[in-house]
Amino acid sequence: MPEQRPDPASDPAPKPAMDLVSVLEELERQREAEGMPVGARNRLQLAIQNHESGRQARWRRWVPAASFVAGAALVLAVVGSRWATSTEAPPVSDPVASVAAAQPAAEVGAFHVEGPSKDCLVRAADDAADLAAHCSLVASHMTVQAWEAATVRTEGRNVRVRSGKVLFEVETVPRGEAPVEVGVSHGTIEVVGTRFAVEQQDEGGHVDLLEGKIRFHHPDGRVEDVLPGQRLSWGQPAVVVADVDVESEPPSVEVAAAGSNEISAAGRGVEPDRRRARVRGTDAQAAAIIERVTELRANKRFGAAITELRRALRRSWDGRTAQVLSYELGELLRAAEDPLGACEHFVAHQRKYPQGRYASAVDRVLERLECD
Amino acid sequence: MSEPLASPDAVEGVATPVVSRTERVEALYVQHREFVYRLALRYGSGSHAWAEDVAQEVFVRLFDVLDSLDERAEQGGMEPWFYRVTTNRCLNRLRAERLRNAAPVRWLLGRRNTDPRDPERVAAARQGLEQASAVMASLPPKERVAFSMHVLDGKKQIEIAEVLGHSKGYVSKLITRAEERVRAAGWELPDA
């Protein structure tokens, strides 16, 4: 199986009047050689691991309703039978025990406590609760499941995570209603309807968004959107948004973002002017850049194309797009007959993405250019 | 590519270690993810985001059928199951996208063309092979899937009919129409 990637500089695009099947087979071979990106592999694995626990949590939402109906039916049956037999012999069964069995589960604020054992609620005071691992706080709009021992506090329909690792499943908030909020040490997570996991420790924590969309409100008023597959961290060492993707660069370098006063005290000494959040580019923007660069390249305006790509690469992108743009820049330098520049760039690319999606293609280019 | 679905340690007469549902799905995921992903990438015209979504749907679907898998595995491994489910998921997505992007629907919903602009697709287009991808993308979803199964996977018409849930005659028509469109676009096809 040829692993050779088509060389855009030397291979012209296939023209019709070629054998379509052989071209498609070549395309399949290339995709097979590239394989599944590491980031995608990890994201899917995470989705699988969280699917079953999420499903169980969804199923458990029905348990309070079913328990209530069963309890009410039992009470009615007992009361009815006592009324019917009030003048006859005393009932054989003990109604007190039956009613006791139908008592609702422990409550913390507007939430019920559910879990695999009776010891789910380790400690409860007012609206705060220490939950044992695998236990949940359940309300009609939200399920809060502790993956390990966690301390949470309910605030009306909202929740604050004091410590621990917690999975949230929030029902979609109807249009016009206030969003659900989850408080953490360095801000508030605004939730529209979604599934996400929060880990809060003494000095900081993070949220991993699995589905839907959340918004992180910093104490200084800044707001950051978090997309599925992304992780947002706070506290030590700094607030960052990063893809949960091993292909992307270390988040502290890529998107060091401004934080609150508490965060700057805990930061890594990044200068204030560099502590501005960089807005992440979208796929549509990246596609537009590549189209512009392609046009410039077609007109032999290599300098302008290279400048455009270099400027683009200074922005923040997700790991996948950053690699596409970086690879394009290397190819452009090569097409512009700047082998030294191409070597330098591809060596840096390889160092940055040693197992990236273009790793084998870059290896071949480096070999062809005889880069040191 | 068939694999044991029960615990690999399961031996007749010896107590089977308890393997959770998630662990079973994870084991199947590790074995079949590349196959599923590559198949989805084909029908998603090389979009990794598209392929990832399909792959997730397929493996999440696995949870629903997990309890009936032992028997199925004995009957010939899991690859045919993944092939069938992935192909049908892709077909459903392609049909839904085609419907959403139909001019009347876009007009009704007040949307512009929603074909996502994936930078990787744009880059790949410049790097050649775009015309082959374009002609495949121009085929109606059913014709595209049936044609791909026929020429790329070497499936017989009766096999394609089984996977897609159509008659052999209808599949034959789909393939013939796809071949006509491809030839009309100036491409050659090997003689049958």
Note the pLDDT tens digit of each residue in B103-130. 666 666 665 554 555 666 656 555 556 7
Residue A124: pLDDT above 60? yes
Contacts of A17 in chain B (CB under 8 A): 186-188
Cα torsion angle, B60, B66, B72, B74, sign:
positive
Buried b (16+ CB within 10 A) or exposed e, A38-61: ebbbbbbeebbbbbbbbeebeebb
Is residue A47 less than 8 Å (CB to CB) from chain B? Answer: yes
As given in the structure block, the two tokens for residue A26 are 């070549």
How far apart are alpha carbons B80 and A57 in whole angstroms? 32
Give the per-residue pLDDT at B28. 87
Amino acid occupying residue B119: P
Task: State residue B38's pLDDT score.
Answer: 92
What CATH class has B16-127?
mainly alpha
Mutate to test the interface with A, among B131, B153, B175 (most CBs of A within 10 A): B131
Please tell me the predicted confidence (pLDDT) of residue B87: 94
3-state secondary structure of A345: helix
Is B152 in contact with A26 (Cβ distance < 8 A)? no
In tens, the pLDDT along B136-170 reads 888 999 999 999 999 999 999 999 999 999 999 99
Across the interface, whether the CB atoms of B119 and A321 are under 8 A apart is answered: yes
A66 at interface of B, judged by CB pairs closer than 8 A:
no
- Looking at per-residue confidence, does A22 or A122 come out higher? A22
Delimiting residues of CATH 1.10.10.10 domain(s) in chain B: 130-187
pTM value is: 0.42
Q: What is the mean pLDDT of chain A?
A: 71
Chain centroid offset of residue B137 CA: 14
Interface test with A, best of B63, B64, B175, B188 (most A CBs within 10 A): B188
Helical pair B79-100 and B141-151, crossing angle rounded to 10 deg: 150
Nearest CB among A6, A286, A287 relative to B128 is that of A6
A274 touches chain B (CB under 8 A): no
Identity of the amino acid at A180: V
Q: Which of the following CATH numbers is that of domain B130-187: 3.40.50.300, 1.10.10.10, 1.10.260.40, 3.40.50.1820? A: 1.10.10.10
Name the minimum distance, in Å, from the CA of A130 to any CA of chain B: 27
User: Of A8, A26, A41, which is closest to B126 when you measure between CB atoms?
Assistant: A8
Contact pairs from chain A to chain B, CB under 8 Å: 138
pLDDT score, position B111: 57
Specify the pLDDT at position A82.
62
Indicate the burial class of A4 (C-beta count within 10 angstroms; 0-12, 13-18, 19 or more): middle
Q: Give the three-class secondary structure for A94.
A: coil
Chain B's closest residue to A7, CA to CA, is B127
Chain A contact set for B21 (CB, 8 A): 52
Write the pLDDT tens digit of every residue in B47-86.
888 899 999 999 988 888 887 776 656 455 788 889 999 9
Range with lowest mean pLDDT among A89-93, A214-218, A308-312, A328-332: A89-93
Q: What residues of B are in contact with residue A324 (Cβ under 8 Å)?
A: 119-120, 123
Across chain B, what does the average pLDDT equal? 79
Are the beta carbons of B152 and A24 separated by less than 8 Å? yes
Q: Give SS3 for A167.
A: strand
Q: Considering only A48-52, A358-362, B6-10, B91-95, which range has the smallest mean pLDDT? A: B6-10
Read off the pLDDT of residues A170-224 as tens digits, 9 standing for 90 and up. 877 776 777 888 888 888 888 876 778 888 887 788 888 777 778 888 888 888 8
Q: How far apart are CA A239 and CA A245, in angstroms?
A: 17
What is the number of other CB atoms lying within 10 angstroms of the CB of residue A357?
Answer: 23
Closest by Cβ to B60, choosing from A19, A51, A321:
A51
pLDDT in tens, A253-280: 233 333 333 322 223 333 333 333 456 7
**What integer is the mean pLDDT of B4-8?**
39
Can you tell me the distance from the alpha carbon of A131 to that of A319, in angstroms, rounded to the nearest whole number?
37
CA distance A294 to B134: 18
Classify A287 as helix, strand or coil.
helix
CA distance A8 to chain B (A): 5
Can you tell me the distance from the alpha carbon of A310 to that of A299, in angstroms, rounded to the nearest whole number? 18
* Secondary structure of chain B as H, E, C letters: CCCCCCCCCCCCCCCCCCCCHHHHHHHHHHHHHHHHHHHHHHHCCCCHHHHHHHHHHHHHHHHHHHHHHHHHHHCCCCHHHHHHHHHHHHHHHHHHHHHHCCHHHHHHHCCCCCCCCCHHHHHHHHCCCHHHHHHHHHCCHHHHHHHHHHHCCCCCHHHHHHHHCCCHHHHHHHHHHHHHHHHHCCCECCCC
What does the pLDDT look like over A331-355, one tens digit per residue? 888 888 888 888 889 898 888 888 7
Domains assigned to chain A: 106-274 (2.60.120.1440), 283-368 (1.25.40)
Q: Is the dihedral of CA A152, A154, A159, A162 positive or negative?
A: negative
Q: What is the 8-class DSSP label of residue A274?
A: G
What pLDDT score was predicted for residue B145? 94
Question: C-alpha A306: how far from its chain's center?
Answer: 33
Q: With CB atoms and an 8 Å threshold, state whether B190 touches A26.
A: no
CB contact under 8 A, A19 and B48: no
| 8 Å CB contact of A324 and B119 | yes
pLDDT of residue B173: 94
- The pLDDT, as a whole number, for residue A300 is 72
Q: Which of residues 317-356 of A touch B (CB under 8 A)?
A: 320-321, 324-325, 327-328
Higher pLDDT, A89 or A298: A298
Cβ-contact A217, A226 below 8 angstroms: no
Residues of chain B with CATH 1.10.1740.10: 16-127
> Which pLDDT score, from 0 to 100, does residue A158 have?
87
pLDDT the model gives residue B192? 60
Q: Do A47 and B130 touch (CB under 8 A)?
A: no
What is the pLDDT at residue B62?
87
